Amino acid sequence: MAQTATQAPRPGNIAEVAEGTDLIEWYYERGYSDGFPLVPPTAEKIAAAVDALGGDAKRLLCKVPPRWGGLTREVLAINMVMAGCRPEYAPVAEAAMLALCHAPFNLNGVQATTHMASPLLVVNGPVRREIGMNAGCNVFGSGNRANATIGRALRLVLLNVGGGWPGLLDKSTLGHPGKYTYCIAENEEESPLAPYHVEKGFKPEDSTVFVIAAEPPHSVTNHFANDPEGILDSICSAMSTICNNNAVSAGHCAVVLCPEHARTIAGHGWRRQDIRYYLWAHSGNKWKDLYGDGRYGKIYNRNLPVWYKREPEARTPIVPGPDNIHLFVAGGEAGRFSAFIPGWGHMSSPVLRAIGGTGPAEAGAQCVDGTCYL
């Protein structure tokens, strides 16, 4: 049965709709959707989401590029409802949008680039369990309402408020499926390592959001190694291609260890820092391989750090240093499949933010090794 109403709230204002209007089709006709049907945002559902955000519906949270539309709590609530979010997801969605709109992330560039990058959101802390996020089996896939709808709400904001519509301000040549929803939680319960946010100085009882501009996950299969080096060499192989953006633009990337791989590595006494240093030291390419071995003339590439050697046999790291590799443990308890997630390059800095924490205007954000902590 088609949903009907006499009024349908639009992101940012109220539009009069005739009695009996099929709201699903009405939203499609006006271009509000990401391609999937939208949940009609009734006044009651909007009010519940605004309340979960702390009230003050007209409070301006941020400006969303590249159109620089104003994101108020009411507008965020409307997009959350349309995405299918429950009210209790609101603090995560708000923190994520504030992180995305922090200047070093360069959301303007991420929204408008011809590259396929999309914001990946990783959630840590107690809020994961409180709202029922999936950190286990099929963590990047379907089947969990919180993961799917939080990620989708962010995308709707990027479309409806930021104006990042494909072919208009979004110029991505190919895009990728994460531009529907790209949101996971770290599997802290199955991880033998300290949670990501704890490694970065937060308390275990803190809840955080981390955002990075990223390509899709690239599977790393290793069913034979029983030592850290054997597993990590497979990940280094996946990292060491000449075609991902990190290879030619440096920046940041992410690695997701499955619990089985993580347990094997940690069982030999390795910590997060050891893993990141190994991956950085043993991945990379020869300069000549990146640029056709001189076939097209001498290429300097100013996009890479100045301290990289521009010589044929020189090793060109995938990212400038170990701290540019963001390591998480996620996925099901069985199966020896991990993932490498290339980033966009030096054009964007990841952002880690406490849920409910102060924003950069109040706190004065710090950027350490390219990652911004709010």
What tokens were used for 117?
């990058």
pLDDT the model gives residue 9: 46
Which residue segment(s) compose the domain that 233 sits in?
216-343
Q: Is residue 14 scored above 80 in pLDDT? A: no
Instruction: Assess whether 154 and 11 both reside in one domain.
Output: yes
109 within 8 A of 170, measured Cβ to Cβ: no
The 10s digit of each residue's pLDDT in 78-115 is 999 999 999 999 999 999 999 999 999 999 999 999 99
- Asked if residues 186 and 329 have their Cβ atoms less than 8 Å apart, the reply is yes
CB-based contacts of 128, cutoff 8 Å, min separation 6: 135, 185, 186, 188, 207
pLDDT for position 208: 97
- Average pLDDT over the chain, rounded to an integer: 92
Residue 44: band (very low, low, confident or very high) from pLDDT cuts 50, 70, 90: very high
Do 30 and 119 lie in a common domain?
A: yes
Q: Please check the confidence at residue 359 and state whether its pLDDT lies above 70.
A: no
106 & 173 share domain:
yes
Taking residue 88's Cβ as centre, other Cβ atoms within 10 Å add up to 15
Band (116; pLDDT cuts 50, 70, 90):
very high
Q: Given a cut of 90, is residue 15 above it in pLDDT? A: no
The verdict on 220 and 198 lying in the same domain is: no
Domain assignment present for 351: no
Q: What is the pLDDT of residue 372?
A: 59
Judgement on whether residues 60 and 172 belong to the same structural domain of the protein: yes
| Residue after which a domain boundary falls, among 214, 238, 268 | 214
Tally of CB atoms within 10 A around 55? 10
What is the average per-residue pLDDT within 157-169?
97
DSSP 323: G
Q: Residue 13 above 70 pLDDT?
A: no
Q: Do residues 155 and 122 touch, judged by C-beta distance below 8 A?
A: no
Three-class DSSP category at 314: coil
Q: Is 231 exposed, middle or buried (0-12, 13-18, 19+ CB in 10 A)?
A: buried
pLDDT tier at 296, thresholds 50, 70, 90: very high
pLDDT at 185 > cutoff 90 = yes
Residues 197 and 222 in one domain: no
Tell me which of 360 and 262 has the higher pLDDT. Answer: 262
Residues 146 and 156 in one domain: yes
State the average pLDDT over residues 151-166. Answer: 98
Provide the pLDDT confidence category of residue 76 given band limits of 50, 70 and 90: very high
Instruction: Please tell me the predicted confidence (pLDDT) of residue 367.
Output: 52
Is residue 353 a part of any domain in this protein? no
Q: Where are the beta strands (DSSP E) in 169-309?
A: 183-185, 208-214, 218-221, 253-257, 285-286
Q: What is the pLDDT of residues 193-203, one digit of tens each?
A: 999 999 999 99
Q: Domain for residue 142, yes or no?
A: yes
Higher-pLDDT residue of 295 and 10 is 295
Domain identity same for 275 and 197: no
User: Angle, to 10 degrees, between the axis of helix 43-52 and the axis of helix 73-83?
Assistant: 120
Same domain, 149 and 296: no
Residue 17 pLDDT class (50, 70, 90 cuts): confident
Q: Specify whether 204 is located in the same domain as 89.
A: yes
pLDDT confidence of residue 360: 37
Residue 104 lies in a domain: yes
pLDDT at residue 349, as a whole number: 97
Q: Does residue 91 belong to any structural domain of this protein?
A: yes
**Rg of the chain's alpha carbons, rounded to an integer?**
21
Are both 235 and 96 inside the same structural domain? no
Strand partners, 124: 208
**18 vs 119, which has greater pLDDT?**
119
pLDDT (average), residues 345-373: 68
Confidence at residue 18, expressed as pLDDT on a 0 to 100 scale? 87
pLDDT digits (tens, 9 = 90+) for 218-237: 999 999 999 999 999 999 99
Domain end among 214, 249, 267: 214
With a cut of 80, say whether residue 267 has pLDDT above it.
Answer: yes
Write the pLDDT tens digit of every residue in 303-328. 999 999 999 999 999 999 999 999 99
Single out the residue in 178, 197, 214 at which a domain terminates.
Answer: 214
Count of domains forming the chain: 2
Co-location of 245 and 319 in the same domain:
yes
Any domain includes 368: no
What local confidence, expressed as pLDDT, does residue 20 receive?
86
